[in-house]
């Protein structure tokens, strides 16, 4: 049995039937990491010894005959933006290269309470700022997929949660946490041929997660199947009194929503997502997804989200402004990297120059500019007004439909080196994912097929606030119809 090929749902059953042990399951993934991480660079920190110790404890619980928590013995990767007690947490930045938190983030604490085993901290774009996982201070991540007939070209995994996506796709972990600010779960999920959901803003606590843009950041799961994402989100979600943006609302049974009948569900197709220059294969995948949902009993409805065209521009005012504010704390005085200077100002300048990479510095500069006197009203305040209009677009659409269906990304994964010299082209990778982030609504990417070059293409299901169940139901139907069983060229083969 190829233990690294199991889904989380499959492993849960196998562990409880004693077909294999947690130590064997975790050991197979640890061995895969040891063999492939030097190439993929999906993990910044590997915690093999801690993982195997946790696996042995999981075996003791499973052998005791007691009701084991849902994730007992399941090996997961944790995006290196979640603080983990006693384990280095870097945000992929030299600024926090040596930071070891003395506390656990709420999301990871919830997963640990449900028995999960952490095999390491996954790579990401520095401070979650990027769409290709090329801005990490610890090196770029390689997408385990290859273009058909081209084994040499290295493709990007998407970002910022590229390490998590690559680890799951390559079978180095059964699932992983991600964070999504403007598409950082969904876009890498699409590029790497896996599933990933950004829940409603406020569904998962942000406490203990290193901040990029506080009004947008949201934790979510990434896994190889929709059902596995549902299992993970069940553990990750919940109210947290320590997070003022956490919403006190019951967490439903997400797994039960997978496979639910779609008869009578209304699916909106937003006209504004048919952007100029969209590749024919992306549009064809979208049309195929529409046909699959129609065949599943859904009613297809054309809808309009007129302010969508302003989503990306609005995002790149709001997000850098919040980034500028959040990252002001890294000054070399209280914690993180410190570079000596002849004066306090010189210390600040030297520390931030050496601690932050080029993309982070770019966004801090943009954010500081739009918040500065004389420009606040012209840029930031106006962007917040447009953001409210974007939110109202979604509210209006959801008066007539239950979910929306769109492409996840405007292209399949591109090669390292392509688009890298043009920040605007890089930002355009998030054109389909940003609007849902601006509105705070849940959205999920699910693999829908392959491009002409043999690379994964994803479709995005967007739902009403706190109606992740409908998102899971529609995404599960797409997954069944697509029958996506393709595997990347670079993956674990450890028994």
Catalytic residue numbers? 79, 160, 184
Burial of 385 (0-12, 13-18, 19+ CB in 10 A): exposed
Partners of 119 in the beta sheet? none
Pick the closest to residue 255 from 438, 417, 468, 96 (CA basis): 468
Pick the closest to residue 251 from 392, 75, 110, 445 (CA basis): 110
Pick the closest to residue 82 from 91, 94, 73, 74 (CA basis): 91
DSSP run (H or E) holding 255: helix 254-257
Ordered DSSP codes for 79-109: ETTB-BTTB---TTSGGGTT---SS--HHHH
Sign of CA dihedral 7, 203, 252, 259: negative
Pick the closest to residue 77 from 192, 155, 215, 249 (CA basis): 192
**3-class DSSP state of 179:** strand
CA atoms within 13 A on the CB side of 245: 18
Which residues lie below 8 Å from residue 12, measured CB to CB, with a gap of 6+?
Answer: 70, 71, 74, 231
- CA–CA dist 468, 234 (Å, integer): 11
Residue 214: phi and psi, rounded to 5, are -65, -30
Pick the closest to residue 92 from 195, 162, 168 (CA basis): 162
- Maximum pairwise Cα distance, the chain: 70
- CA–CA dist 447, 469 (Å, integer): 18
- CA–CA dist 336, 169 (Å, integer): 32
CB atoms within 10 A of CB 340: 9
Whole-angstrom CA distances from 143 to 27, 208, 463 are 23, 28, 29
Asked if residues 240 and 209 have their Cβ atoms less than 8 Å apart, the reply is no
């Amino acid at each position: 049995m190829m233990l690294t090929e199991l889904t989380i749902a499959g492993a849960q059953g196998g562990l409880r039937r004693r077909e294999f042990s947690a130590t064997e399951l975790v050991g197979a993934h640890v061995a895969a990491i040891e063999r492939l991480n030097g190439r993929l660079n999906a993990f910044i920190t590997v915690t093999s010894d801690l993982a195997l110790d946790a696996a042995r404890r999981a075996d003791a619980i499973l052998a005791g005959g007691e009701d084991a928590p849902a994730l007992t013995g399941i090996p997961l990767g944790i995006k290196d933006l979640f603080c983990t007690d006693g384990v280095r947490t870097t945000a992929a930045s030299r600024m926090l290269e040596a930071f070891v938190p003395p506390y656990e983030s709420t999301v990871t604490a919830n997963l640990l309470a449900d028995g999960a085993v952490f095999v390491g901290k996954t790579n990401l774009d520095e401070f979650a700022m990027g769409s290709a996982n090329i801005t990490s201070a610890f090196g770029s991540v390689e997408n385990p997929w290859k273009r058909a007939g081209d084994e040499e070209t290295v493709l990007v995994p998407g970002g910022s949660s590229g390490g998590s996506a690559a680890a799951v796709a390559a079978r180095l972990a059964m699932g992983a946490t991600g964070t999504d600010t403007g598409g950082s779960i969904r876009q890498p999920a699409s590029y790497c041929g896996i599933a990933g959901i950004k829940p409603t803003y406020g569904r998962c606590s942000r406490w203990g997660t290193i901040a990029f843009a506080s009004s947008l950041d949201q934790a979510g799961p990434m896994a190889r199947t929709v059902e596995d994402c549902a299992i993970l989100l069940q553990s990750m979600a919940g109210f947290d009194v320590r997070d003022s943006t956490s919403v006190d609302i019951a967490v439903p049974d997400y797994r039960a929503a997978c496979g639910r009948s779609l008869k009578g569900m209304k699916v909106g197709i937003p006209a504004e997502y048919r952007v100029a220059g969209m590749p024919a294969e992306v549009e064809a995948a979208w049309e195929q997804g529409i046909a699959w949902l129609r065949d599943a009993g859904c009613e297809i409805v054309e809808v309009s989200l007129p302010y969508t065209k302003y989503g990306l521009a609005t995002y790149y005012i709001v997000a850098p402004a919040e980034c500028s504010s959040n990252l002001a704390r890294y000054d070399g005085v209280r914690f993180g990297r410190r570079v000596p200077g002849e004066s306090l100002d010189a210390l600040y300048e030297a520390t931030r120059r050496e601690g932050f990479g080029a993309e982070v510095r770019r966004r801090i500069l943009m954010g500081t500019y739009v918040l500065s006197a004389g420009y606040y009203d012209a840029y930031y305040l106006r962007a917040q007004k447009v953001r409210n209009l974007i939110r109202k677009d979604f509210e209006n659409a959801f008066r007539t439909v239950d979910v929306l269906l769109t492409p996840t990304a405007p292209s399949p994964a591109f090669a390292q080196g392509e688009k890298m010299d043009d920040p605007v082209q890089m930002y355009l990778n998030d054109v389909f994912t940003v609007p849902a982030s601006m509105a705070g609504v849940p959205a999920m990417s699910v693999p829908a097929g392959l491009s002409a070059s043999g690379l994964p293409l994803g479709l995005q299901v967007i739902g009403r606030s706190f109606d992740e169940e409908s998102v899971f139901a529609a995404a599960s139907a797409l997954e069944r119809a697509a029958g996506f069983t393709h595997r990347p060229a670079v993956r674990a083969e450890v028994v």
